[in-house]
Structure 1
């Protein structure tokens, strides 16, 4: 004799064999609901066998007690399972997670922000020029707008309106740090610097033109022709955005040393890193040269009695570097850099 559950009649049936002929007889109704049985069958086969055990050879009182115990256990398990699911869904919906939202996402939508971020990564990785990057941004902007208009999708059209058309706007949305350089106009002949406002002359008809260099190299020379001004043009006309503007022939970008030091030392732990070299020199031997701190020039500022500048805490030693190079292979264009490096920083940190 064996027992099994009929889902159609919702009854327990006992299969018996009488004189070699199989037969079915009703044993008892199931006290568990359909949901409990389906969960039991799906989760554990052993639990199903425990809930479907036969009680034919038990007494009436024992059978009632046994059935009540099994049904209560199954109901308690289902109730606990429901509570756990409810707790999980409640914690997922009601919990406030700290999600980092970039500042640029407040200006544009998140897909547009990450598109512009990938665009700048691509520009830096393949060394694409600024004009080429702006051209590609414009093409993508108009293509996305055309795509949204064709398929009548307002969200795509709205996203296309958020795409900027200038590289400066892209960098502003991404939040790139600006160097805050002041650009001076440089005379192409005598290398005298001017402010841009001192290089523009406004004519009577409202147009503007470039001034010439007023620098006199030898104002006290006995010959008159040697006391003439340089006279070189400082600005040239360029066409940008369908307009003719005046742009410097040569530019000298400059950033204040005070602002640069404030920017570097405002980074986390940079002030402490600039003082690590003091403990490092006590570890190495005198005959080992591992860094700039082991050289004679550095020791002149620490060991010479008349010039112990670095003995005072938070004293910084700067080195001036001058380098001229040609950035392009197929054109004659020279670029020079005059920069200072902070030597107090460890080698693993940048000293720029």
Structure 2
């Protein structure tokens, strides 16, 4: 029996050709392809400025820095997220304060954020978890009057919409991921988008060691001007090789999202007939790209979450545990702060799993997954 993977990037001859062109050009570091990818991504996401980075984690770090987060500040984050969401504030010397999430969407809400605010809160990182759009307007209505910056962690969000626009379009600053698990991939890589030109300018400066002259500009000069390092910066650059892949991938986005939503609708229709399973769905304010198709295993199901994972694995179906709880991890266990209880986070972390869903998933393979879920019924 062939294995069904939980995720598989959609890469083809176009990406191979694009990489070949970059190699043939002789310029493979950050250069013209990166600039072209930034422009294309900004247009697709309706962002005013886009700054390519080495990862979403580095984009989050830069977003916090340009937003003015400093040592001693508090940053409210969901524990129900990949560890990078909680790690980024610590890079700034700030303290991640964990907030709980909504049971249905897995996202922060204005109510859960309000319960986690402290007098030192400088920013909130709101995640579009698994591609489910966060209710950004509600969060900004709470935070903007308090002078708290809402940073959208749109790592999983490319192709999702919020109130008729791409997610991230309404954020002052957002961070994106191009990891192979994401719908648009460059292998590794990320992007910062922002409505503020001064924030974009500073992010570009910081990502390249805070050099006064870019590497591309120095290379273009026969006699390179002397560079100056005006502050401590970082090596958070994307390469032209990655950007060339990203440009092709971005062109695939509408088709990928269409197919993923088609597969998600099929999953939802069939899983709704199985007692004890609750699949993820679109929220009232937007549409999901279903970057991750997660299912909650309830008390009416004959197996618990880990038992179901074992059952699926026995049939060569590779599912995954649901989103982690960062506050349970050794790296952050001693950092648990704030007054908020995390009951929903812990429940979802313990009861959810991610089913296989990717562009090339055959209908017959999806049927095999659903059948594996059905055979556990009494």
Normalised TM-score (structure 1):
0.19
Bigger Cα Rg: 1
Work out which structure has the larger RCO, using CA pairs closer than 8 Å and 6 or more positions apart in sequence.
2
Structure in which a larger fraction of residues adopt strand: 1
